[in-house]
Amino acid sequence: MLYINGEWRDAASGKTFDVKNPATGEVVATVAKGSTADTEAAIEAAQAAFGPWSRLTAKERYTYLKKTADILRARTEEIAELITREMGKPVAEARGEIGLAIDYLDWYAEEGKRIYGDTIPASAPNKRLLVLRQPVGVVGAITPWNFPIAMITRKLAPALAAGCTILLKAASATPLAAIEVFKALHEAGVPKGVANLVNGSASEVVGAMMASPVVRKITFTGSTEVGKELVRQSADTMKKVSMELGGHAPFLVFEDADLDKAADGAIASKFRNAGQTCVCTNRIYVQKSVAERFSAIMAEKMKSMVVGNGLESGVNVGPMIDEGAMAKAQEHIDDAVAKGATILCGGGRLTEGAFANGNFFAPTVLSGATHEMKISYEETFGPVAPIFTFETEAEAIQLANATVFGLASYIFTKDGSRMFRVAEQLDYGIVGINDAMPTVAQAPFGGVKESGVGREGGKYGIEDYLDYKFLSLQIEL
């Protein structure tokens, strides 16, 4: 179903599409497939709702967002199962993601009360200079399938808190969690037109958003390739853009690190969501003197990884999203092995028995990786962990930065000076220091270079939904 102007609707064309469970191949649901006409209706609704919504007090908007958060909190279990069915992540991870999604709603409900302007000392005695912060207007949001709920509220919550209205297109693989968010907004009594959901054809729905002069801002999370195309398209109507794009995270393990903790961190960061997160470790660099020991610890710990249907207890690696994702992971392994890497565990698809109908891929660790291999410069987006080695701190930094991406990076060391020295030289938006899980609602999330522009999260994440308006007054003295 589409949610436009406060109503649940079928697509104007009557078209639908199926959502499939990547663990079983079964159809989980059939949903409306929106197109240009539906998107234009949503834009019109968002435009009509903008004036009244932007004039509400911050406290009124707070109430709607808090209610939405509370409704989602109460439904955590049922939505977690739905997420596992539509995209495969283990249900415990889905629960964690819903917690993060709710954190964004809670955080921005409050942050909306702190949108402050400025007064500026004037250049003449009879002048007064003021700066107002105002919502940018109608926002178009586009989200990926790998975090089907948190990526939505990370955009929706700051947009609504700032006084913007929004239309959102969720990924076609995962429209069901999105529908749950909009059900919660509806139940919370959010006025009609303030938040609209148009799932469906990417080219038509996003195309209509990009073409519309009414949509003043585009916020996108997804691949770098599509992000670049949207930036190009945004030029015609000069929209504000924020882009949360691909990553290629380096994970640096220095010889003074606690190797056991570093291996736990590498595994958590790499194999969460079957390696399908933008902040997933894509390259593990280990100082040569400890590389063999680290690889052995990693290989030993990998024995406790359980692959399977995310609904089953004990499973910590679910299926991959589709055939294409598995093919890319396999291509990276084959290329690495052909160029001299050794497979320490895993190595390819799992197809026997319970795995027969799903997109299961064995968690894989490779040693002897080098910068000639594809895996060193392309985002794998799958459960493959290549181990590279380095001799010196300077070399580690140079190798870590040798990529067009710049989202997350990780350092494991006990040396406090090194923590700062290395973190300051890494060309990344996020540095986890002895911490493989840095994402929280109150901190800025985002990348540099081809990983994107703008930040989501914390006080930084609301900036992109606000304009400055300068008032210059002459008064009688």
State the residues that interact with ligand NAP by CB under 6 A: 142-147, 151, 169, 171-173, 202-203, 206, 221-223, 226, 229, 244-247, 278, 379, 381, 407, 447, 452
> Which of 339, 257, 326, 248 lies closest to 298 in space, CA to CA?
257
Nearer of residues 285 and 381 to ligand NAP, judged by Cβ: 381
CB of 247 to ligand NAP, least distance (A): 5
Q: Which tokens is 51 given?
A: 């004036």
Per annotation, catalytic residue among 180, 244, 379, 456: 244
CB of 270 to ligand NAP, least distance (A): 14
Tokens 């702190």 sit on residue: 114
Q: Which residues, other chains included, contact 179 with Cβ-Cβ below 8 Å and sequence gap of 6+?
A: 1, 3, 31, 197
Q: Which residues, other chains included, contact 466 with Cβ-Cβ below 8 Å and sequence gap of 6+?
A: 115, 133, 134, 135, 136, 162
The most distant pair of C-alpha atoms in the chain lies apart, rounded to whole Å, by 86
Per annotation, catalytic residue among 278, 280, 379, 450: 278
- The residues facing 307 across adjacent strands are 317
Cα–Cα dist 115/470, whole Å: 15
The H or E element that residue 243 is part of is strand 240-244
Nearer of residues 53 and 182 to ligand NAP, judged by Cβ: 182
Nearer of residues 347 and 444 to ligand NAP, judged by Cβ: 444
CB of 430 to ligand NAP, least distance (A): 10
Nearer of residues 181 and 263 to ligand NAP, judged by Cβ: 181
CB of 149 to ligand NAP, least distance (A): 12
Nearer of residues 107 and 147 to ligand NAP, judged by Cβ: 147
Continuous H helices in 377-427: 393-401, 416-425
312 is catalytic: no
Sign of the Cα torsion 221, 225, 228, 232 reads: negative
Q: Which residues, other chains included, contact 463 with Cβ-Cβ below 8 Å and sequence gap of 6+?
A: 455
- The residues facing 166 across adjacent strands are 139, 195
CB of 431 to ligand NAP, least distance (A): 15
Nearer of residues 63 and 401 to ligand NAP, judged by Cβ: 401
Q: What beta strand segments (E) does 348-441 contain?
A: 364-367, 384-390, 408-412, 430-433
391 is catalytic: no
Task: Give CA torsion, residues 131, 132, 134, 136, to 10 deg.
Answer: -10
CB of 371 to ligand NAP, least distance (A): 21
- Nearest-CB residue to ligand NAP? 222
Active-site residue set: 244, 278
